[in-house]
Amino acid sequence: MKRVLKDYAGTLKEEIPKKFVELGILDKEKSLFLLAQPEKIDFIYKYHKKGGIKELTEWNSPPDRKSWGGGGPSASLNKYKEYLKAKTENSYKQIKSNQELDSSLPLNQILYGPPGTGKTYATIEKALEILGKNFQSRAEAKKIFDKCRKDGQIEFVTFHQSYGYEEFVEGIHPEINEEGNLNYEIRDGIFKEIAKRAMENYKGSLEENKASNQNLNLEELIEAFSDYIRERLDKEEDFFFKDKVKIKDIRRSDTETKSFITGGSVNNQRLTTDILKRDYEDFKAGKIKSPNDVKPTYESKRHRHGNAIYYFALYKKLQEFEKKDFQQPIKTQNESISLKPYILIIDEINRGNISKIFGELITLLEPTKRVGENDALYLSLPYSREKFGVPKNVYIIGTMNTADRSIALMDTALRRRFDFVEMMPDVEKLDKVIENIKLKEMLKTINARIEFLYDREHTIGHTFFIGVESLKDTKNLKNIFQHKIIPLLQEYFYEDYAKIDAVLGGNGMIEKIETKENLFRNLNKDLMIDIEKIIYKIKDFKDGIWDDPATYIKIYQELDFKDNEQE
């Protein structure tokens, strides 16, 4: 209520002179009677609402009524009513908007194109567009992006051939318990982690601005407990929680505490916060009365968790901390949780085995199957047996190099669930001349030849040449051709140097090797060998041809129609 009155006072300050508000003087110059003290208005409003004063008629007929312009205190009361009504309507609109995201942006999209077209670079801009962030420069965009990653709204992963479901969704990982026996624990993968964060935010946004002071925020409690232990460790103070067993380290992700590592008489046991979150409320309710009640993280012949005695001891310490030291942040009734986007960026998405990595969850990516939609779908995960769904505020941005694999060869299930955004070489970004070398014309010509001899999916991106200022600087054209362009062409044309030479316009970077006449002097004429075969090799990198601007100009010179017209 204090915040409401403070806001109302702010609206009064906009309508009557500041000095009247500060001095408590009534505004007699306007037709509306305004009380300068919002607390009095609120008192009158509540008293009137209960029937204590019906129309404030006894206040509306003072001797100097004319000076009020016919308004009186009842007008002030009506103004306050209008303010509360408007605030309620705005709050409803805010809550409604808190539950909505920009529907014009695809939930799943893949940026695809040849190498060097800025796909990974563009994921930052795409992510910030989804987050609704504005920026003026690339440096500012990167700064905002990094902050969002730290806050847990963005995650980044690169697929590769050995990447699997266990790293992406969840998997069983071995550990040695305190008895020296092999123990297995279920760990969440990167996709499950960000989906859980998004789900928590989605559920919070549905509370429609309800106060949640009475409910314990377990994650905030665990983070405060973790900070408390970390402060002790930073001061080189031991934190014993079970006889001579102590916490010696805390493992964190960018956004939250993941586990506590034991030291002392029992070393290097990992006590995860997932188990704390699973059991703590039951422990407080008396459902977990001893270590025997701490269950394994997956179906097992063992009746209790391998580290049960240490988890149980940690529950006790956490409860002590909650009672003595934890002060839960107070949320006012007017605070609401807005629905926020959570973004997973998958670089080189086509290099992974999609069926193996996503498994049965590929169905959950469909927009209509997201949690929050009418046809929402949940699945039971194979290891944890958890009920799992993907909320509608999870976005996936993938990148795909078409030189590695064509879209036509991609997993059909993936293609059906993603929007595809083509990113081809943009020669317009190279519209500058370096030592008479027209970079734009040079790349345009190279790509036209590659498209003719191979296909457009293997053209060369403009980003290879971004930042080139001369032949002599550290990022010069010579190094780019020797260590980027030539190797790429070798890969494309399987070392068919005649085609590579054709792409380069016979500019001298590829040279012919003369075959010695007596090389096959004693050759049996019955053998079918092409002795007239032409052999090529790459010009020695120390040769002066690489430093000569004419070498690069020759790539496009004959096709530079603008120059021909001028001549």
pLDDT of the chain, 567 residues: tens digit per residue: 444 555 555 555 454 444 444 444 444 444 334 444 555 555 555 555 545 544 444 444 444 444 444 445 555 666 666 665 565 555 444 444 445 677 789 999 999 999 999 998 899 999 999 999 988 888 999 999 999 999 999 999 999 999 999 999 999 888 776 666 777 888 899 999 999 999 999 988 886 544 444 456 788 899 889 999 999 999 999 999 998 999 999 998 877 888 999 998 888 899 999 899 899 999 988 899 999 999 887 666 677 888 989 999 999 999 999 888 776 655 544 456 789 999 999 999 988 888 899 988 999 999 999 998 889 999 999 988 889 999 999 999 999 998 876 666 677 777 888 999 999 999 999 988 888 999 999 999 999 999 999 999 999 999 999 888 777 665 688 899 999 999 999 999 987 899 999 999 999 999 988 766 666 666 666 666 666 677 888 999 999 999 999 999 999 986 554 544 444
Domains and CATH numbers, the chain: 2-98 (no CATH), 108-167+337-422 (3.40.50.300), 214-329 (no CATH), 427-566 (no CATH)
CB-neighbour burial class of residue 280 (10 A; exposed 0-12, middle 13-18, buried 19+): buried
Cα separations in angstroms, 337 against 97, 150, 151, 341: 11, 19, 15, 12
CB-neighbour burial class of residue 435 (10 A; exposed 0-12, middle 13-18, buried 19+): middle
Q: Return the closest-CA partner of residue 490 out of 461, 450, 443.
A: 450
Read off the amino acid at residue 187: R
Q: Return the closest-CA partner of residue 45 out of 7, 12, 10, 5.
A: 5
Q: Are 517 and 557 in contact (CB under 8 A)?
A: no
pTM above 0.85, yes or no: no
Q: What is the pLDDT of residue 60?
A: 46
Q: Are 171 and 365 in contact (CB under 8 A)?
A: no
Q: What is the pLDDT of residue 42?
A: 59
User: Could you give phi then psi for residue 205, rounded to 5 degrees?
Assistant: -70, -15
Q: What is the pLDDT of residue 6?
A: 52
**Average model confidence (pLDDT) for the chain?**
79
User: Could you give phi then psi for residue 6, rounded to 5 degrees?
Assistant: -65, -40
In the three-class reduction of DSSP (H, G, I as helix; E, B as strand; rest coil), residue 537 is classed as strand
In the three-class reduction of DSSP (H, G, I as helix; E, B as strand; rest coil), residue 260 is classed as strand
- Whose tokens are 């940026």? That residue is 111
98-126: b (≥16 Cβ within 10 Å) or e: bbebeeeebbbbbbbbbbbbbbbebbbeb
Q: What is the pLDDT of residue 521?
A: 64
Q: What is the pLDDT of residue 365?
A: 94
